[in-house]
Structure 1
Amino acid sequence: MNWYLSKIIFRIICGEGNHTPQFDEQLRLIAAHDEEEALRKAMDIGEKEQDAFYNHEQQLVQWKFVNVAELYRFSGLLDGAEMYSRIHETDDPEGYTDLVHRRADHIRASTTHKMLHLL
């Protein structure tokens, strides 16, 4: 059995879609014997996880599977290996940096909380 990393893309459409286009890029681990099986399993996940629901404003929100954009086979696990990289452009670098620091603080706080429960 081999491990693959797949990037599954969904389009998010709210209401009539009169908003900035949104896409959700999900990285998923797939166990498969070969690349063909891994691609089939990733596509099945995308198809099965499409969704539609009404938000608090009673607008239909749709998550539509677009496709599997990337598929990589792991030849082995290596400590510190890069799994994913994406360049993020923003007009508010301070706001983005602040968001990153708040997320890191949340991880540290959650880890500390989990350690306290173990003691």
Structure 2
Amino acid sequence: MKWYLAKLVYRILCGDGAHTPQFDEQLRLISADDELHAFQKARLFGHKEQDNFLNAADKPVHWRFIDVSEVHELNSLNDGVEIYSRISEEENGEIYTKLTLMRASHLQENFLHTTMQLN
């Protein structure tokens, strides 16, 4: 068996769907013999995990599986190995950088707080 990284894409519809289109892209680890089986297995997960529920405003929410858009074999699971990369072009590089630094600082503070509570 080999390990694969699969991207599953869902469309999120709220109420009558008259809103900005929303999509959820999920990266999943898949264990399979080859790429075809990884793709098929990822599709099964995607269909199985579609969902319908009511949100806080009692409006129906539908998570509809679209399909698997990517499958990548993971050659090794070692410390620090890259499993996903995405290059983006941002209108304001300074704001993007500041938001990234703020998120990292927030993560570090939360992890430190949790670690201190455990000790």
Instruction: Please give the range of the TM-score, normalised by the shorter of the 2 chains.
Output: 0.7 to 0.9
Aligned counterparts of 1:17 and 1:96: Cα–Cα separation in 2:
29
For residue 56 of structure 2, what is the amino acid of its counterpart? H
1:50 paired with 2:39, answer no
Instruction: Give 2:59's aligned residue.
Output: 59
Shift of 1:41: 1.3
Measure the CA separation in 2 of the matches of 1:23 and 1:54.
18
Distance (whole Å) between structure 1 residues aligned to residue 48 and residue 92 of structure 2: 36
Question: 5+ unaligned residues in a row in structure 2: which ranges?
Answer: none
State the Cα distance separating 1:90 from its structure 2 match: 5.7
Specify whether residues 89 and 53 from structure 1 end up closer, same or farther in structure 2 by C-alpha distance, changes over 3 A only: farther
**Letter matched to residue 116 of structure 2:** L
Q: Would you say the 8 A contact 2:13–2:62 is kept in 1?
A: yes
What number of residue pairs does the alignment pair up? 119
1:35: how far off? 1.4
Contact 2:6 2:42 in 1 (8 A): yes
Distance 2:58 2:88 in 1: 31
Distance in 2 between the 1:67 and 1:11 partners? Answer: 10
The TM-score, its normalising length taken from structure 1, stands at 0.83
Q: Counterparts of 2:102 and 2:31 in 1: how far apart (Å)? A: 33
Partner of 2:16: 16
TM-score by length of 2: 0.83
CA–CA distance in structure 2, aligned partners of residues 48 and 79 of structure 1 = 31
Task: Please give the alpha-carbon distance, in whole angstroms, between the structure 2 residues aligned to 1:100 and 1:52.
Answer: 33
Once superposed, what is the RMSD of the aligned Cα atoms? 2.1
Between the aligned partners of 1:92 and 1:21, the Cα distance in structure 2 is: 23
1:68 positional shift: 0.2
1:19 and 1:112, CA in 2 relative to 1: closer, same or farther beyond 3 A?
Answer: same
Counterparts of 1:49-88 in structure 2 under 5 Å? Answer: 49-77=49-77, 79-88=79-88
* Superposed CA offset, 1:46-91 (max 9, x none): 0111001111221111000000000001122455443323345666
Using the alignment, how far apart are the partners of 1:87 and 1:21 within structure 2? 22
Listed as ranges, the gaps of 5+ residues in structure 1 are none
Distance of 1:32 and 1:72 partners within structure 2 = 12
Q: Secondary structure of the equivalent of 1:31?
A: strand
